[in-house]
């Protein structure tokens, strides 16, 4: 069983995906973390994120690993070699540059292969931008989550404040709008709703309401669940 959850930044993908994985005892795979880890390394090595050849060279030596942190496959640490970058990949400089890194076709091709490999022998909930359209086109359940950009920026601000970061709301909103634009206008597998994905506007829904909708869709796709 494969469940694909796509949507723009802050639509609630990872929160919902984790809860669905927990409810069904599936493995959760956060593909955004993979692009973020590469971006972290690219910046650390002072490589220009726009330079596809150099970015792909960094990818080839990345030694990226997603290591389950709770024994259940719901939370994981992101490692580059022995370095734990789980928190570092969420920092604003990585968020600001990740779309430039993720647009390169050689990088996407290699990442998609890696993601398909990770999903091959497990039931998974995978979230990202192109999961239903490109990574797992055969997924039994495809969800496209979205919400207004103001609501998504509010959620991000709350999350960052909880982690003790200072946030400038207008900056956060502008960054999300910029990332939406870059992710949905790139040439290779842009952020888009797969034709057969079920669209959920989460603006006025609670987390539990969204989870219930997704679990209902899962049970409909598999009558014995």
Residues that bind ligand DC (CB under 6 A): 9, 31-32, 35-36, 98-99, 102, 128-131, 179, 183
The helix (H) or strand (E) run that includes residue 66 is strand 64-68
Rounded least distance, CB 13 to ligand DC, Å: 6
What are the structure tokens assigned to 177, written together?
Answer: 């709008």
Quote the tokens at residue 206.
């609670």
For the bound state, the minimum distance from the C-beta of residue 82 to ligand DC, rounded and expressed in Å, comes to 23
Nearest approach, Cβ of residue 99 and ligand DC (Å): 5
For the CB of residue 70, give the shortest distance to ligand DC in the complex, in Å: 19
Nearest to ligand DC of 32, 73 (CB atom): 32
CA distances from 28 to 93, 183, 205 (A): 25, 22, 22
Say if residues 1 and 142 touch (Cβ distance below 8 Å).
no
Which is closer to ligand DC, CB of 25 or CB of 105?
A: 105
Residues contacting residue 206 through CB under 8 Å, at least 6 positions apart: none
Alpha-carbon span 75 to 137, nearest angstrom: 25
Select 27 or 130, whichever has its Cβ closest to ligand DC: 130
Residue 131 or 211 having the CB closest to ligand DC: 131
Q: What angle do CA 205, 210, 211 make, to 5 degrees?
A: 145
Q: Residue 71 or residue 175: which is nearer to ligand DC going by CB? A: 175
107 or 218: whose CB is closer to ligand DC? 107
Q: 49: which 2 tokens?
A: 């994120």
Note the helical H segments in 141-224: 149-162, 169-185, 207-221
Contact indicator for 96, 39 with CB cutoff of 8 Å: no
For residue 219, the minimal CB distance to ligand DC (Å) is 26
Minimum Å gap between C-beta 129 and ligand DC is 4
């Amino acid at each position: 069983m494969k469940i694909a959850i796509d949507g723009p930044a802050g639509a609630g993908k990872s929160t919902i995906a984790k809860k669905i994985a927990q409810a069904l005892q599936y493995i959760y795979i956060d593909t955004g973390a993979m692009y973020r880890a590469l971006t972290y390394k690219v910046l650390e090595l002072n490589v220009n994120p726009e330079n596809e050849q150099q970015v792909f060279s960094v990818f080839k030596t990345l030694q990226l690993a997603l290591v389950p942190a709770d024994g259940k496959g719901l939370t994981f640490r992101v490692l580059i070699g022995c370095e734990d970058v789980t928190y570092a990949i969420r920092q604003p400089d990585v968020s600001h540059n990740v779309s430039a890194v993720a647009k390169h076709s050689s990088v996407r091709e290699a990442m998609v292969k890696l993601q398909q490999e990770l999903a091959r022998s497990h039931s998974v909930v995978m979230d990202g931008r192109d999961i239903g359209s490109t990574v797992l086109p055969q997924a039994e359940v495809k969800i496209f989550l979205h919400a207004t950009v103001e609501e998504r920026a509010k959620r991000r601000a709350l999350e960052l404040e909880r982690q003790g970061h200072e946030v400038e709301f207008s900056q956060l909103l502008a960054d999300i709008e910029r990332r939406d634009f870059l992710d949905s206008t790139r040439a290779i597998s842009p952020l888009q709703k797969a034709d057969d994905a079920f669209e959920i506007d989460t603006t006025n829904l609670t987390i539990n309401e969204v989870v219930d909708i997704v679990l209902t869709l899962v049970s409909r796709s598999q009558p014995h669940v």
